[in-house]
A and B are shown apart, each in its own frame.
Chain A
Amino acid sequence: MALLEASALHAAYGHTRVLHGLDFAIEKGSITALLGANGAGKTTTLRALCAMVKTEGEVSFGGVRIERKSTEDIVRLGVAHVPDGRGTFALLSTEENLRLGAYTRKDRSAVEADLERVYGYFPRLRERRRQQAGTLSGGEQQMLAISRALMLSPKLMLLDEPSFGLAPLLVRELFDILRTINQREQVSMLLVEQNAAMALELADSAYLLETGRVVLAGSASALKQNDSVRRAYLGY
């Protein structure tokens, strides 16, 4: 059963239309990748799901229609967004950033346990827990953004270019952790990536966007075999 379903999703910034009627679904427990060139509408799709841009069309999450809900209410349903640019609270400490991730939760003891679990995934964050988050390196801030999202104990994570600006070795490590989180905690993921090869390796299924439309959809392995995807996005 699909956890999230979008149909005829349009989005616009002012008068500039960016998405022209997307249809896609995210299966429960799966990792879905959104691929596409710059300006294809990947980031906008994630923002549209969280009501951060003006949208038309239908989005249902866990059987509930969410396209009219506010960002804050969508978060409360269990959608955690790791935004483009990481969204660090630069003046707060690392730990305060993480606690904010659990702001909507009432189960105090589970939150403490989750904090420990997140530090288990990213021991670097534990070392820097008292440090001002703005002084963390780019990679550490990306770990922080993912951890902050995990602190919500989400059903679905929207990941916007988690590999952006990271060293290749770190990207691999990060993707391994994402896979672990997905498998161990049954968190579904919608992954936006420019690094199509890595994304297709991690994902179960994928959608290819071009100028605000889905031009190709299928399982990750099928897309990997597709000639045009190979030539345009995988480079071989």
Chain B
Amino acid sequence: MDAFLHQVLAGLATGGIYASLALALVMIYQATHLVNFAQGEMAMFTTYIAWSLINAGMPYWLAFLLTVAFAFVFGILVERLVIRPVEDAPVLAVVVVFIALLVILNSLTGWIYTYTIKSFPSPFPQEPLFGIRYMSPHELGAIGITLVVLLALYGFFRFTPLGLAMRAAAQNPESSRLVGIRVGWMLALGWGLAAAIGAVAGMMVAPIVYLDPNMMGGILLYAFAAALVGGIDNPWGAVFGGFLVGVLENVLGAFVIGNELKLSVALVLIIGVLLVRPSGFFGRVHVTRV
């Protein structure tokens, strides 16, 4: 029983990371109806920036904040310089751009930092926090950070005029222009926020999976699964899906299929959801009148 509880709690910790990344995917999907395949590599790249800053002697939390700020600006720049020019291009062309971005960021990071696996520090203490034995301090801390990010985002979208404008721009661009919202900038801002969330996810997952240019491949798959399970157009669904996928992955990996086949849990979930319930648990079912 103890071992089971431990696996569930550890699953919640990684699940929070999947939830963050899934949320980043959903944010961009809601605004553009496209899934950003480069989301994971953008997170990985910014995590390397954090590593550089920490290695240069900067205190962890300062490096953390600077990295989030860098990711935000980086996300905006990517949208303005790379995505904007293909705004009106066919869907497949944009997908190719996303994949190009993925490959470029991956290779660029490998070129700058080499492909040698690096360890990434955790900001949390080694000894158990609050006397909790079932979770490592880092897992507990990662859950805490995830919850702070989710709450901050919720507050931003729910209670600020800018958050309202971003939601409006995502669902009805034409009407948004008619009330004076600069829709293009809202999109860029969305990219910035998504990249910032991804950076947090990257820094939280790096102490667990270690830092290497391919570290986000599997995690992005889990995040896809999470977003699909929850419903790709529902932020709450993505968060729920993230935690669910994290727990499922850990429990199944430990007790049923073994660690080697863990990643297939994500693939089975993706295919299963697409076959049985394409809108996910909480997604809107799209009905078109013909």
Which residues of A are in contact with B by a Cβ distance under 8 Å?
Answer: 50, 52, 70-72, 75-76, 80-81, 83, 87-92, 96, 99-101, 103-104, 148, 152
User: B33 → chain A, closest Cβ, in Å?
Assistant: 15
| Chain B: CB-nearest residue to A71 | B177
Measured in the bound complex, the distance between the Cα atoms of B141 and A137 in whole Å is 48
Measured in the bound complex, the distance between the Cα atoms of B171 and A200 in whole Å is 36
> For the complex, is B57 an interface residue (Cβ under 8 Å from A)?
no
> For the complex, is B138 an interface residue (Cβ under 8 Å from A)?
no
Which residues of B are in contact with A by a Cβ distance under 8 Å?
Answer: 161, 164-165, 167-168, 171-172, 174-183
Measured in the bound complex, the distance between the Cα atoms of B161 and A75 in whole Å is 17
User: B159 → chain A, closest Cβ, in Å?
Assistant: 11
Instruction: Please indicate the chain A residues that have their CB under 8 angstroms from the CB of B182 in the complex.
Output: 72
Q: What are some 18 contacts across the A-B interface (CB < 8 A)?
A: A50-B178, A71-B178, A72-B181, A76-B180, A87-B174, A87-B178, A88-B175, A89-B168, A89-B171, A90-B172, A91-B171, A99-B161, A103-B179, A103-B180, A104-B180, A148-B179, A152-B179, A152-B180
User: A62 → chain B, closest Cβ, in Å?
Assistant: 17
User: B231 → chain A, closest Cβ, in Å?
Assistant: 14
Knowing A72-B182, A99-B161, A104-B180, say if A87 contacts B167 (CB, 8 Å): no
| Chain B: CB-nearest residue to A104 | B180
User: A111 → chain B, closest Cβ, in Å?
Assistant: 10
Knowing A72-B180, A72-B181, A148-B179, say if A100 contacts B165 (CB, 8 Å): yes
Q: Is the CB–CB distance between A103 and B167 below 8 Å?
A: no
Measured in the bound complex, the distance between the Cα atoms of B166 and A92 in whole Å is 12
Measured in the bound complex, the distance between the Cα atoms of B165 and A100 in whole Å is 7
Instruction: Please indicate the chain A residues that have their CB under 8 angstroms from the CB of B165 in the complex.
Output: 100, 103
Instruction: Please indicate the chain B residues that have their CB under 8 angstroms from the CB of A100 in the complex.
Output: 164-165, 168, 176, 179, 181
User: B176 → chain A, closest Cβ, in Å?
Assistant: 8
Measured in the bound complex, the distance between the Cα atoms of B176 and A221 in whole Å is 37
Selected from B167, B171, B179, the residue in CB contact (under 8 A) with A75 is: B179
Measured in the bound complex, the distance between the Cα atoms of B178 and A8 in whole Å is 24
Q: Is the CB–CB distance between A101 and B171 below 8 Å?
A: no
Measured in the bound complex, the distance between the Cα atoms of B183 and A72 in whole Å is 9
Measured in the bound complex, the distance between the Cα atoms of B168 and A81 in whole Å is 16
Q: Is the CB–CB distance between B161 and A103 below 8 Å?
A: yes
The residue among B174, B177, B181 with the most chain A CB atoms within 10 A of its own CB is B177
Q: Is the CB–CB distance between A103 and B181 below 8 Å?
A: yes
| Chain B: CB-nearest residue to A152 | B179
| Chain A: CB-nearest residue to B162 | A103
Instruction: Please indicate the chain B residues that have their CB under 8 angstroms from the CB of A80 in the complex.
Output: 178
Instruction: Please indicate the chain B residues that have their CB under 8 angstroms from the CB of A88 in the complex.
Output: 172, 175
Selected from A70, A87, A96, the residue in CB contact (under 8 A) with B175 is: A87
The residue among B165, B167, B179 with the most chain A CB atoms within 10 A of its own CB is B179
User: A95 → chain B, closest Cβ, in Å?
Assistant: 10
Q: Is the CB–CB distance between A75 and B178 below 8 Å?
A: yes
With A52-B177, A91-B167 known, 6 other A-B pairs at CB within 8 A are A71-B177, A72-B180, A81-B178, A83-B175, A90-B171, A103-B161
